[in-house]
Each structure stands twice: as C-alpha cells, then as structure tokens.
Structure 1
C-alpha cells in the first residue's frame, strides 16, 4: 500500500538523464506530482523509470548519462518507461573502442594496513580456514552432501580452528562434450574454485569412477603445490564411490569421513598471522540486480574496492555479460593499451560464444531484473560498472 504521508521521490543518476527511477515503496499512482512539478500519467512501480521530459520517437533514453535505449514511439513526460517501449542499443564494435583515454590522477596509497590471514603452501593467503570437498560429477552430490552433514556434526567440533566444511557442487562432469574446445572453461573454473585460498591447499576429491571428468583431468599432476611435498607419488586424494571396497551407501560415506579427517587435522594446525593488505584478493559480483543496484550497493562496493586497491589489495569482478555492454567504459579507463587489449580479447571470445549458440544479448536480463525496473542488459551493465 502506498504511504500517502511520504513525499513522492525519484532518483536521477546524472544531470543529463531524461529518465529517473521512482523511489517510493509500492510505486506511485497516476496524477502524483513530484516536487519538481512533474506529474505521473500512469502508475509507475517502485524502481521503474519515469520520463522526465518528452522523448520523441527514435529519441535516446538516457540513464547514467548513457543511452540505454531508443524510444519505439513518442513518450510523454510523466510516463512509465519500460522495456516494451525501448529498442536496445547495438553492442559496441570491439574495433572502435576508446583505449586508455580517461586519465585520472592516481589516488594516494593507503599505507600500513594488514589483516589476519592463513598463509598457504602456494604463497596465497586466505581469510578463512575451510575444508572443501570437490566433486568431479553431479552424480556424487547426494552422497557427498550426506557426508558433509555428518562431518559437521561428528568431526568438525573436534577441530576448533577449522571454520567450516563445504561440498563444491556443480552440474558438470558427465553427459557433456568433454573434449569440446570450450570445455576448458568449466574445467578450469572448477579447478580454480577448488584452489581458493580459503581452502588451504587441502584438495579432497569425490569421484564416481565412470564420469567423463576424471579426477586426473580436473586436477592434473602439479596443480597443487602441497601434494608434491606430501607424497612422492604425487597422487591426488580421491574417494572413488565405485571402488570395490564400497559395499553400499554408508561405506561410501565412511570413506569420505575418514579422508576428510586427515585434512581437518592439517587445517586445524594452521594459525592466523599478520599479513599486509597487499596479500588480499577479493572477488565481487552483482547479483539479484534491480534498478537500485546501480544507486546503492554497487557504488558502495566500488568505493570500498577503491580503498582496498589503494591499500595494495586486488579486487576482481565477474559477469562477462555485463562487462560486454560496458566495455567502452572499461577500455577508456584502462591504465595501458595492453590492459584494454586483454579485455577486448575476452569480449571477442564471448561474442563468438554467443554466435555459436545462436543467442544474443537479450538473454540477459532475467525476469527478476525486469520486475525490479531494469529494461535491458545495457542498463544493467551501467549499474554495475558506471
């Protein structure tokens, strides 16, 4: 229900914008007049856009001072502006991007900042001390999940320096074209997740035995620094559920528990130490996006990221789909042409990937994004980058 005692409000991101988003909980009704004198012609849901001026057919709809669409028909001031009224801009050509053109004075470094972390055998530093159980295939998820619950209940209380036990589940590993050129991407992703610094180099794998993604393919010899120090045979720690020794569900679970306890003992012996902020690596991701994400959370995370970088830390953000429609913003900010070229190379791969799958950028946004006021991937991208 609309709060009649609260003044109608909209949020404009840039003086050059010709749309704004309605801030009031529950949205606003037709006839509502904003303090600026703008009157709504129709109900506009919370987070959705209202036209601040008349926009002619074919005219640019601008938010973040960036074109997020073109009006399919004329739009009167005070109207609700949504995806059905807009033509999405074409993706920027990768050969016509600004390269390292936006030069800003570097911010002064923040000296002397440290954190208490766990130093790993490969030199990385984690902020937590977690046992992660990697899976080669989705078929082992049920057994592994059951085992993890028992580990938490029966073993973890005995190892107070270990923060948690998690199963790294996924839907990959079998029934896939494991030798396809793009298969390197999910395999590399699963491998690198297993090597997250918060897992302490203690890689434990649960395998079914008959899957396409065999443990040796997921973790080739030499992948994990700690293995070479632990055993001369360089063998990965694998529990294979199809081993002859397993005579049923519970024997599989018991094998997982036995192996897990060996890792828990080593993890429990670790202690935090003071390390410089430059050892910190933080990953950020925009999820559950709506029109407010680019107003509230994302700018706040961006500001915090700047502080971390000034202290020497590294910050990474994901979502290639959003980077693609904001690539011109990023290549312009690149510190060197080489950095811009690396980003363009990744975007070219993504374009080719979409083309092979006969899909386009309209696959993003999601229904939830649209319900939250986002009209298309361009607007979503600007909210995560600008």
Structure 2
C-alpha cells in the first residue's frame, strides 16, 4: 500500500491554524510534533511513569499527514495517523490529482489566513511511503530471550531459536505492536517471581494482561489456571490467540475486557474464587490504588506481585502496600525498575 507523506514545517504559534486549514481540506488525521512542555494534565494522561523529555522549546513545529498514493483497487482503504490531534468525521476531500495540487491549494488557504493572522510561510514537502516496507519493522527489535534456565520467550516468526536446548520450554508469542513483548525488565521481574510461587494447584489473576505473556508463562510453569483482564479488548483477543499458540487448553485460561479500578465488583463476580497469585505489571499510578482493592481477589495465603514501577516510585508503592496491610516479602530490582511480592 502506497501513501503520500506530507510535512509542514512551521512555528508552534501557527501549527494550530494550519491544522484547522488541513481539516477544511478534508485531511482527517494529522500529527503535530514540537517541543512545547506538557501540562500537568497531559502528563497524567500518558501511560508511563517516565517523564517526557521533549528538549528545549525552540518554537518550531512539524505537521505530518498522509494521503493515499496510486494503489490497486483492492488496496484502497481509509488511513488515519492514529496519533493525530485531529481525528473526526470531516467531509472527505475532493479527489486530488497530485501532491503538487494539494500543496498549492494548502498554500492558497495559508495566504488567505495570513491576512488575518500573520505568520511566516511554512516549508512543505512530500514523499512516497510504501507501508509494506515498514509496517512490520518493529519486529526487528523482538528476538528470542531466556527468562529462566528452562524457559525461552520467542516470537512466532522465530519458532526454533538457536539459543534453545532440548530441556527448554518455548513460549511462542505474537506480541503485536501495541503489547508488551516480555523483553522489558518489568516483565522479566514478574516472570522471575512467578516461578517461585507456582504449583500444579496455583490459580493466577493477571490484571492488565497485554499479550498474555505472564499468564501463559505461569501456565507453562505448571499453574492450574489463569484469569486475565485488560482495558484493551484487543489484548483479550491477543491473549487467547497466544494461549492457543502455546497449546494451552481452553479450560485453563480465560480473558475478559474490563477495568478493575472502575468496575471491581463485576470483575469479582466473574471470578470463580479468590486466586493464589495476582500479578500486575502496569504502572505505579495504577498499582497504588489497586493495592487498596485487590485483597478480595486473593486467598488469605496468596501473593500479590506488582511491577512496572520505576525505582523512583518505589517508596510510593511500598507505602500503598503497607498502608493496606500487605506484608512485603520480596523486593527485586532490575535496571531502573523495581517489583514487589506481598502477602495480605
């Protein structure tokens, strides 16, 4: 599939104005890149504990958008950047014969707007992009890796890794570009702790399952069953598909779409009974409130394994656990991340 990528180089003051002009031209998705510091509200909306390092604000801004290139009829489809600041049901743009014509039309609109809001003429460029060359490029960064002395996580496209030996168990994963692959330190921390607390009768709750890698690892380690949930419905589908890839019987794993922080009661009702292990590899800002509501999901002698926590937030999570009468029995660190194993 071929696309035309356009870049409009302007100033931060003019970016919003040009964005409105793009909307008027029927451009249904665009992205603004700049170095404007995030507001506290924007920081809270980010799904990460790592502060955004945008660099110094230089007053420059780049708007990026796409239109469809010359494709075969069966390849034609709608495209939006997915990360744009403007995604809505705008009137489709009329057929544009060439990128030059679109740029000319945009420049004309800019000249008209400059009469009311003076700003410098932007530089506009375009290039042809072929998504067949880059849509799966992210896979290059995911390679087989050893989790323990007998478990290797490997992508489905490398089902027979060179590092495997006859005694190894392979966890086949199709991580998807939006899900955790397990190579991150936080997932390794969870897996290392999981193995210690698993027996043939162990039941697992994976809160925020993503690709299902933790639940599937627990089942391959010998756990009896796993109950998974995630706020992303695609994660639920991906988890069950990955379980099937690893020949996990359907009666050993279940995955549902839900938010345990917002709808704890209905999720608890869907669970057959309290669990031996609850694992949450999320963020400190999620684990802290979770510490106050996870107890009903745990057996009296169960363990709560939490990760996805920067060491700089370790004290906050530690306090949340102890304030909710958990006893911390393990603290493990890897790089700049920390995990906790606690008992109710």
Which of the five TM-score ranges fits, normalised by the shorter chain? Answer: under 0.3
Q: TM-score, normalised by structure 2?
A: 0.24
* Structure of larger gyration radius: 1
Q: Which has the higher contact order (CA 8 A, sep 6+)?
A: 1
Kindly indicate which of the two structures has a greater share of residues assigned to strand.
2
TM-score (norm. length: structure 1): 0.22
